[in-house]
Structure 1
Amino acid sequence: MVHVGKHAVVVGAGMGGLLAARALADHFDEVTILERDALPDSADTRKGVPQGRHTHGLLARGREVLEQSFPGFTEEIIAQGAVPADIVNDGLWFNYGVYLHNAPSKMVGLGVSRPTLEGFVRRRLLQLPNIRVQERRDVVEPVFDRPSGRVTGVRVQSKNGSGDKETLEADLVVDTSGRGSASPTWLNAFGFAKPPEEQVTVNLGYVTRFCRLKPEHMENYLHGRKFVLMGACLPDFRFGALLPQEGERWTVTLGGYMDDQAPLDDAGFLEFARGLQKPEIFNVIRNAEPLTPLTPYKFVSNTRRHYEKLTHFPEGYLVYGDALCSFDPVYGQGMTVACVESLALRECLAKGTQGIARRFFQMASRVIETPWQIAVGSDLQNPRVEGKRTAQVRFVNWYIAKFYRAAQRDAALATRFLEVANLMQQPTALLRPANALKVWNGSRDMQHPDLGQGRQAA
């Protein structure tokens, strides 16, 4: 490994911060993670992870990267109760009025709660001798040396009530503080331009509950499948998810856009589930044992900060994860994008830290582009979501709808679609001539699509 410095500082101990620290650990003598929360010893949610009580699953690409970063990850977290699932074969994927075809694949995802996953990664990370975490520490601002044009550390304030401040020197500071990152304000104060920002407002709201299901209902209504994902589509753009989690629990999330929100009372929540376009989620939760209260979450907008477009940026400083781009959580991409960004950071560090910001932001932008187009393009199918619907967006949405419908009867198409959704392949894979021909033939043949075909496949 290339040694590039003595000390690196990571702002934030969420999944993004942990993954960034893992990449840094191979190149610095010491890596310090600064976290404003007190970190739980058990698999409990914490204030700094507002979605910690909601449905989580790890996409296939994210699992692969975590296995690479922490050898034995998959086996160990399954031993802790995480549920492995064949992405194509083990789920009911409903969208565009049809189910995707089920068939065995090589893509394995995990049903696991965010606190359990984050806690596992944190414990594995802290086994490295050069990693340390400082809890209940607020980063006041980076320290900027104007003559050299570089960040040389951070000013930190303890949250122990004393108000004490200190300066930590660092060769590299990585901001992984999330969607509310103060980096644009800090940079502006140092005389740098704020990054161009792109937003697509969705006003999304959803409600989650953990529950225990009856085995007979799972068999009768899920047909042996392990999870259900119902995408937001016409006519009402409501969505639902039912995923297994550790501890023989299941998590159910129901939601909608704008003023169409799932109620916070038991009867209203069930009635909302009954109103979904397909009955599986309602059928299995109506007699389920509730384990947690109904918990709401609001998400206003997809937000992307284009740091790669800045012509000037300080040395010794990077922005990472949700601080770069925050996606509509319905698509479950955030943690996997942070995983893939860690590979980009490793590659950049192998070339040293001089000019690393330009290299990393360019690579991260390419990592972000596919999930951004998936999230924003999908959201723009909803006529109530405001945004520019270019000819390209309209064509892609038209083609994806036809692709998905053709994939209800074609295992290869279903696999290609989910490879893209799991960030294993670029979207261009869907446009390959062989796939496009199948889509064309399928759209001609399906005058009356068999909506149950996806559940009947081998």
Structure 2
Amino acid sequence: MDHAVVIGASMSGLLSAAALHRRFARVTVLDRDRLPAVDAHRRGAGQSRHAHGLLATGHEVIDGLLPGIAAELVAQGAIRGDLQDQARHIHSGRRLARGHSGLTGLFVGRPLLEGQVRRRVSALPGVRVLSERLVTGLLSREGRVTGVRVLSERPVTGPPSRDGRVMGVRLSGGELIPADLVVDASGRGSRTPQWLGELGFRPPQEEQVGIDVRYGTYELRRRSDHLAGDLAVVIGATPQAPRAGVALALEDERWIVTLAGYGEDPPLDRAGFAAYAATLPAPDLHHLITAANPAGEPRAYRTPSAVRRRYERLSRFPEGLLVTGDAVCSFNPLYGQGMSVAAMHARALLDPDLSARGYFRRITQITDIPWEITVSGDLRMPGLGGGLTPRMRMAAAYLDRFHAAAVHDPELTRRFLRVSNLYDPPAALLSPAALVRVLRSGVQRAVPVPV
């Protein structure tokens, strides 16, 4: 095949291009932002100034799509570490046991990660990443998508196609860019549902879970004695205390510390931020915030809802068009699953079957588990619990018991991390071996453990 167009130069779009370049002679990535020439935050990635989790699966998949990129990031200051042995996990109000998990995390700021991915993708043969291009619609013929309409402040440049024609044609201040395949990686603001209507197709069913998660974030200067050398702290929200927090070690001797509340804003003044951290089920983040010096101004962010678009349920969908990443499913960012799921969606583009039906079937299998995990967790929070099914209530009660047992059992912690890092399905926590460990544990001893 000759030419693929990717809408959006997000992590999802860039990784999709990395996959598609193995299948297409040319790949063009179009983004409405002015993409930074250096590693910097950009307008279209509003959450980039807050803590970003890259699951072990995401780390692995990205390194598979762009071989050697993890080592390149480490050379630029990113940090690798075992996600159990070098991180503190507090869930259900309990501190889970430490141990060696074999799950490698990559701790890196979003600007460096995205910048290095963009450099690697831009250097791939036949790939062009173009900024300040707003895709305004789809081209189609006989029910198949054949390209995109684009508004641009400057003309498309680059080599001609194999038959000598230029790839972009100027029309009334815009461009028509033909393509054998269009992949929408434009995020939760995707316009594909509206474009489908314009082409005579029905839009997908949309599931929304109102979460109203609000962030506050500080970057802090990191010293070797902070957290006794650990690289991360993750404190989950509980129905009794619907607040959460995370600290991640980053390049340039920094911490990024994000506190979050359901329906409430963490204070952004230093004293209020520390006081908010003190209300969490463990004191680790409060200790870190009060011990470390700020390295920048605090930032706020809000996610009103988690959204999933059910493209796999449509009986009719145009060939030549696929949708990926947050444009399909945008998760509660507290769970840190978005980038990793987007990477797995991109990897699904390597399959020989790029029909809409085949592709959406594959990514549905990828998306189902993280969606179940996040929605089940969110619906436990006060004001959100009306949608909990009896099955979800039973699963939540068992997970509390599981976490209680994991306080004294590193193997149970490892099993939990394998599920939360999307290696194993949630049912793995109910395996006979896990059940035996949970039932035999001294649950009465599993009380919150201070730092």
The TM-score by the shorter chain falls in which range?
A: over 0.9
Report the Cα distance in structure 1 between the residues aligned to 2:114 and 2:26, rounded to whole angstroms.
21
Equivalent of residue 40 in structure 2, options 21, 41, 44:
44
Equivalent of residue 191 in structure 1, options 163, 187, 200:
200
Query: Which runs of 5 or more structure 2 residues have no equivalent in the other structure?
Result: 156-169
Matches within 5 A, 1:296-375: 296-347=300-351, 350-351=352-353, 353=354, 356-375=355-374
Relative to 1, partners in 2 of residues 1:198 and 1:431: Cα closer, same or farther, differing over 3 Å?
A: same
Residue 448 of structure 2 is aligned to residue 448 of structure 1: no
Residue 58 of structure 2 is aligned to residue 54 of structure 1: no
Matches within 5 A, 1:362-441: 362-385=361-384, 387-441=386-440
**Which residue of structure 2 aligns with residue 78 of structure 1?**
74
Normalised to the residue count of structure 2, the TM-score between the two structures is 0.94
Instruction: Out of 427-436 and 295-304, give the one that drifted further.
Output: 427-436
Residue 242 of structure 2 is aligned to residue 246 of structure 1: no
Residue 132 of structure 2 is aligned to residue 151 of structure 1: no
Normalised to the residue count of structure 1, the TM-score between the two structures is 0.92
Report the Cα distance in structure 1 between the residues aligned to 2:379 and 2:387, rounded to whole angstroms.
8
User: Contact 1:57–1:113 (CA<8 Å) still a contact in 2?
Assistant: no
CA shift at 1:160, angstroms?
Answer: 5.4
AA in 2 matched with 1:304? R
Report the Cα distance in structure 2 between the residues aligned to 1:123 and 1:446, rounded to whole angstroms.
50
Report the Cα distance in structure 2 between the residues aligned to 1:129 and 1:101, rounded to whole angstroms.
47
User: Contact 1:10–1:173 (CA<8 Å) still a contact in 2?
Assistant: yes
SS in 2 for 1:52: helix
Instruction: Out of 270-279 and 246-255, give the one that drifted further.
Output: 270-279
Equivalent of residue 105 in structure 2, options 102, 109, 112:
109
Percent identical residues: 43
Report the Cα distance in structure 2 between the residues aligned to 1:165 and 1:319, rounded to whole angstroms.
23
Report the Cα distance in structure 2 between the residues aligned to 1:52 and 1:58, rounded to whole angstroms.
13
AA in 2 matched with 1:342? A
Residue 29 of structure 2 is aligned to residue 29 of structure 1: no
Report the Cα distance in structure 2 between the residues aligned to 1:104 and 1:452, rounded to whole angstroms.
20
Matches within 5 A, 1:99-248: 99-145=95-141, 148-159=142-153, 164-216=173-225, 218=226, 222-248=227-253
SS in 1 for 2:366: helix
SS in 1 for 2:444: coil
User: Contact 2:220–2:255 (CA<8 Å) still a contact in 1?
Assistant: yes
**Which residue of structure 1 aligns with residue 287 of structure 2?**
283
CA shift at 1:57, angstroms?
Answer: 2.6
User: Contact 2:57–2:423 (CA<8 Å) still a contact in 1?
Assistant: yes
Relative to 1, partners in 2 of residues 1:404 and 1:47: Cα closer, same or farther, differing over 3 Å?
A: same
Equivalent residues, number: 436
SS in 1 for 2:233: strand
AA in 1 matched with 2:109? S
User: Contact 1:201–1:386 (CA<8 Å) still a contact in 2?
Assistant: no
Residue 66 of structure 2 is aligned to residue 89 of structure 1: no
CA shift at 1:215, angstroms?
Answer: 3.6
CA shift at 1:287, angstroms?
Answer: 3.2
User: Contact 1:35–1:137 (CA<8 Å) still a contact in 2?
Assistant: yes
CA shift at 1:422, angstroms?
Answer: 0.5
SS in 1 for 2:105: strand
**Which residue of structure 2 aligns with residue 6 of structure 1?**
2
AA in 1 matched with 2:297? P
Query: Which runs of 5 or more structure 1 residues have no equivalent in the other structure?
Result: none
CA shift at 1:205, angstroms?
Answer: 0.2
User: Contact 2:222–2:249 (CA<8 Å) still a contact in 1?
Assistant: no
Report the Cα distance in structure 1 between the residues aligned to 2:373 and 2:153, rounded to whole angstroms.
39
Report the Cα distance in structure 2 between the residues aligned to 1:387 and 1:335, rounded to whole angstroms.
29
AA in 2 matched with 1:428? A
